[in-house]
Structure 1
Amino acid sequence: MNQQATAAGSGTTSALAAPTAPAVVLIGLNGFGRQHLANIHRLAAEEKITFLAGIDPVDPGKEIRGKDTHVFADFDAFLSSGLTPDIIIISTPISTHADLAMRALRTGADLYLEKPPTATLDQYSRLLQAAADAGAHVQVGFQALGSTALKTIDGFFADNAKNSPIGALRAVGASGNWLRTTGYYERSPWAGHRKLDGVEIADGVVTNPLAHAVASALHIAGARKAQDVAHLATELYHAHSIEADDTSVVRVQTSTGIPVIAALTVCASEQQDPWITIYGTEGTATLYYTRDELLVRPNPDLGLPESSEVFGRVNLLENLVEVRNGSETELLSSLASAGAFMRVLEQIRTSDTPTQIAEVQVIPAGDGADFHPVIPNIERFIDRAVAAQSSFSSLGAPWALPAKTSGSLSLIHPATGKQRTLAELRTGEDISRTNSPRPFLDNLKTFNGVVVSEQQPLDHTWHLGV
Structure 2
Amino acid sequence: MDETSFAVVGAQNFAAEYISNIRSLGGDGVGLAGVVITDQTAEGERARELRRDGIRIFDSYEDLLRNGHRHVDVIGLPTSIASHAELSIAGMTHGYDVLLEKPPAPTVGELDAISRTADRTGRFCSVGFQYLHAPSIRRLKRELLDGAIGDLEAVACQGSWPRSNAYYERNGWAGRLVHRGDVVLDGPVNNAFAHFLQNMLFLTGEEAHETGTLTEVTAECYRANPDIQAADIACLTATTDGGVDIDFYVTHVPPERRDPSIVIEGTEGIAEWRYSGDTTIRPADGEPISFDDGDVDPGLEVFRRTAAYERGDVDALYCTPETTREFVTAVNGSFESSGTVVQLPDDAVRTEETDDGTVRRVAEGIDELLDEAFERRVQLSDTGAEWAEPSSPVDLTGYEQFTPLS
**TM-score for the superposition, normalised by structure 1:** 0.76
Distance in 2 of aligned mates of 1:252 and 1:401: 18
The one-letter code sitting in structure 2 at the alignment partner of 1:239 is A
Match of 2:369 in 1: 381
Aligned identity (percent) is 25
The farther-off stretch of 377-386 and 252-261 is 377-386
Partners of 1:227 and 1:39 lie apart in 2 by 30
Structure 1 counterpart of 2:21, which letter?
A: N
Matched-pair contact (CA < 8 Å) for 1:177–1:271: yes
Give the distance between the partners of 2:118 and 2:389, measured in 1 at CA. 42
Q: RMSD of aligned C-alpha atoms?
A: 2.5
Matched ranges for 1:269-418 at <5 A: 269-289=255-275, 291-299=276-284, 302=285, 304-312=286-294, 313=296, 315-350=301-336, 351-366=338-353, 370-401=358-389
SS state at 1:61 partner? helix
Any idea what SS the aligned residue of 1:153 has? helix
CA deviation string 1:188-221 (max 9, x = no partner): 1111000023111221110011111111111112
CA distance in 2, matches of 1:42, 1:402: 48
Shift of 1:257: 0.9
- The range that moved more, 55-64 or 75-84, is 55-64
Tell me by how many angstroms 1:377 deviates: 2.9
Q: 1:64 to 1:232 in 2, by over 3 A?
A: farther
Distance 1:332 1:47, change over 3 A: closer
Offset at 1:49? 2.9
Task: Tell me if the contact between 1:319 and 1:331 (Cα under 8 Å) persists in the aligned partners.
Answer: yes
| Partner SS for 1:336 | coil
Q: Is the 8 A contact 1:236 1:354 kept in 2?
A: yes
**1:50 pairs with 2:31:** yes
SS at match of 2:150: coil
Deviates more, 1:323-332 or 1:253-262: 323-332
Identify unmatched segments of 5+ residues in structure 2. Answer: 395-406
Report how far residue 306 of structure 1 moved.
4.0
Structure 2 residue matching 1:337: 3-state secondary structure: coil
Question: Is contact 1:120-1:349 (8 Å) kept?
Answer: no
2:133 counterpart of 1:146: yes
Instruction: Report what 2:402 is aligned to.
Output: none
> What residue number does 1:204 align with?
187
C-alpha distance 79-323 of structure 1, shift in aligned 2 (>3 A) = closer
Conserved? CA contact 2:220–2:391, under 8 Å = no
Aligned to 2:400: none
Deviates more, 1:166-175 or 1:222-231: 222-231
Instruction: Tell me which amino acid in the other structure corresponds to 1:32.
Output: F
> Which amino acid in 2 is paired with 1:41?
R
For the 8 Å contact 2:65–2:91, the answer to whether it is kept is: no
The answer on whether the counterparts of 1:226 and 1:343 sit within 8 Å (CA) in structure 2 is no
Alignment check: 8 A CA contact 1:396 1:402 kept: no
Q: How far 1:398 moved relative to its partner?
A: 3.1
* SS of structure 1 residue aligned to 2:254: coil
SS, match of residue 259 in structure 2? coil
Query: Which structure is richer in relative contact order (CA contacts within 8 A, separation 6 or more)?
Result: 2
Cα offset, 1:70, TM superposition: 1.6
1:168 positional shift: 2.7
**Among 94, 115, 124, which residue is 1:107 paired with?**
94
My pick for the range that moved more, 166-175 or 305-314, is 305-314
CA contact (8 A) 1:29 1:65 kept: no
CA deviations on 1:406-444 (whole Å, 9 max, x unpaired) are: xxxxxxxxxxxxxxxxxxxxxxx99xxxxxxxxxxxxxx
Q: Can you give the 5+ residue segments of structure 1 that lack an aligned partner in the other structure?
A: 1-17, 405-428, 431-466
Work out which of the two has the higher radius of gyration on C-alpha atoms and give 1 or 2. 1
**For the Cα contact (< 8 Å) 1:144–1:216, is it kept in 2?**
yes
SS of residue in 2 equivalent to 1:52: strand
Give 4+ residue runs of structure 1 displaced > 4 Å after superposition.
62-66, 223-227
Question: 1:329: how far off?
Answer: 3.9
Deviation at 1:47, TM superposition (A): 5.2
1:237 aligns with 2:222: yes
Map of 2:153 onto structure 1: 170
Structure 2 residue aligned with 1:119: 106
SS for the counterpart of 1:273 is: strand
Q: Who is 1:442 aligned against? A: none
| Structural mapping, 1:187-266, within 5 Å | 187-222=170-205, 228-241=213-226, 242-266=228-252
Q: Report the more deviating stretch, 138-147 or 306-315.
A: 306-315
One-letter code aligned to 1:399:
W
CA distance in 1 between partners of 2:48 and 2:153 (Å): 50
Q: Could you tell me which amino acid in structure 1 is paired with residue 92 of structure 2?
A: L
How far does residue 71 in structure 1 lie from its aligned partner after superposition?
Answer: 1.4
- 1:395 CA displacement: 1.9
Deviation at 1:231, TM superposition (A): 0.9
Within 2, Cα distance between the matches of 1:237 and 1:76? Answer: 39
Give 2:79's aligned residue. 92
Query: SS where residue 137 of structure 2 aligns?
Result: helix
Which residue is 2:397 aligned to? Answer: none
Measure the CA separation in 2 of the matches of 1:232 and 1:127.
24
**CA separation of 1:64 and 1:247: change in aligned 2, threshold 3 A:** farther
Distance 1:158 1:306, change over 3 A: closer
Residue of structure 2 in register with 1:158 after alignment: 145
- Given candidates 19, 34, 37, the residue that maps to 1:37 is 19
Deviation at 1:403, TM superposition (A): 8.4
Find the aligned partners of 2:113 and 2:350 in 1 and give their Cα distance.
44
Contact 1:91 1:113 in 2 (8 A): yes
- In 1, Cα distance between the equivalents of 2:320 and 2:150? 29
Rounded Cα–Cα distance in structure 2 between residues aligned with 1:211 and 1:70: 33
* TM-score, normalised via structure 2 length: 0.86
